[in-house]
């Protein structure tokens, strides 16, 4: 099966898990023991995090990101959940679109430092198809962030692909390059097990600043002066982990992507800049559009029923093609411009109307009066 980020013109359905599963471990940065539980979620709900049973719902969307240094952190109303990228990558790699994630702390367990334990959790829970369709994301033109030796961009393509260059002066890393068209099988076997890494020389500074308090040889590749202290799973595990993090961060967009990502020495901060740039390029944050995410609108509503008001506004505009005021009761269900026009043509035929110029001025006046209360309604868009 193709990775859900891999775009396909075929109809793709959303998925959730079949049963609840849990995992306990130490948080990489907090150093505290935490437990995470995954539970099935309805179609179109997305991946939603909560702290405890009754905590605020924090959707895994770009608008929830509050920090992208060293790890991806989301938050709401003062509550934060840190290091979500490996779980997000696992869900994306297995095609899990809708998921409830409950955490009893402020960070997910580091486990072994990779996405493999989260993949195993989700495989144990099973995958269940849902009726709702996935919402694909087509990249319209090159979009990028960063510069000089650290940058990331995405260009239009028929499928999803990642080309990544990691270069570091340290002899253990050097220059590592890969290009990959994801599939579920290759993700599970070749990328999900790639672990996070850090330099032994930086450990003191990180811990003084409150980071890496839970880091150990069990969950981090530790790089000494001339070698790693705990070996490698792949000769290019460092760049594979960079790709794993990238997949987790791109999953914040909430849909399969048609585009080729090309990156050099990027990290969470640049990944997130790219995510935001993609949103802007696709018009997903315009003031003249209601942007609908998986669990809420991203820019609020003017009315509780603004969606249906906009449908009525469109209907009034289309009926104005008849050229005169109408005495009649229009009743509609899920109609749009095409059906509106079919109705206009049917009315014309039934009454033998022509478009007489004498009635146009009266029609304009009637439309303005009828739509006065509805004018503020905006068009809709979905992420």
Active site positions, annotated? 268
Angle between helices 268-281 and 237-250 (to 10 degrees): 40
Q: What is the C-alpha to C-alpha distance for residues 234 and 282, in angstroms, rounded to an integer? A: 37
CA–CA separation, 124 and 115 (whole Å):
14
Q: Kindly report the number of other CB atoms within 10 A of residue 281's CB atom.
A: 14
Q: Residue 298: CA atoms inside 13 Å, Cβ hemisphere, count?
A: 26
Please compute Rg for the chain using Cα positions.
25
CA distance 129 to 62: 25
Q: What is the DSSP string of 57-79?
A: PEESSGGGEEE-SSS-EEEETTE
CA distance 324 to 377: 23
């Amino acid at each position: 099966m193709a990775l859900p980020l891999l775009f396909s013109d075929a109809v793709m359905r959303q998925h959730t898990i079949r049963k609840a599963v849990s995992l306990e471990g130490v948080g990489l940065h907090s150093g505290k023991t935490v437990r995470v539980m995954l539970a099935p979620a309805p179609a179109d709900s997305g991946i939603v995090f909560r702290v405890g049973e009754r905590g605020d719902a924090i959707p895994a969307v770009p608008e929830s990101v509050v920090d992208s240094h060293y790890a991806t952190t989301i938050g709401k109303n003062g509550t934060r959940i840190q290091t979500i990228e490996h779980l997000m990558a696992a869900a994306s790699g297995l095609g899990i679109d809708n998921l409830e994630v409950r955490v009893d702390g402020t960070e997910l367990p580091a486990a072994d430092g990779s996405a493999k334990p989260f993949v195993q959790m989700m495989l144990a829970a099973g995958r269940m198809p849902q009726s709702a369709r996935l919402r694909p994301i087509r990249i319209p033109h090159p979009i990028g962030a960063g510069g000089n030796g650290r940058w990331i961009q995405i260009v239009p393509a028929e499928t999803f692909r990642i080309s990544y260059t990691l270069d570091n002066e340290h002899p253990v890393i050097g220059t590592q390059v890969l290009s990959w068209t994801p599939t579920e099988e290759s993700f599970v076997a070749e990328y999900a097990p790639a672990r996070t890494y850090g330099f032994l020389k930086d450990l003191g500074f990180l811990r003084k600043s409150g980071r890496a308090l839970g880091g150990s040889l069990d969950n981090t590749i530790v790089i000494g002066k001339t070698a790693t202290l705990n070996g490698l799973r792949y000769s290019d595990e460092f760049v594979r982990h960079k790709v794993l993090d990238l997949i987790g961060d791109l999953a914040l967009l909430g849909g399969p992507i048609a585009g080729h990502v090309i990156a050099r020495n990027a990290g969470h901060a640049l990944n997130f800049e790219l995510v935001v740039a993609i949103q802007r390029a696709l018009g997903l944050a315009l003031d003249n559009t209601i942007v609908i995410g998986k669990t809420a609108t991203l820019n609020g509503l003017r009315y509780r029923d603004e969606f249906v008001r906009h449908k009525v506004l469109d209907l009034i505009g289309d009926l104005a093609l008849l050229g005169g005021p109408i005495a009649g009761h229009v009743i509609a269900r899920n109609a749009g411009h095409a059906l509106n026009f079919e109705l206009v043509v049917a009315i014309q035929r039934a009454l033998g109307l022509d478009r007489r110029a004498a009635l146009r001025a009266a029609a304009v006046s009637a439309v303005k009066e009828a739509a006065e209360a509805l004018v503020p309604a905006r068009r809709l868009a979905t992420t």
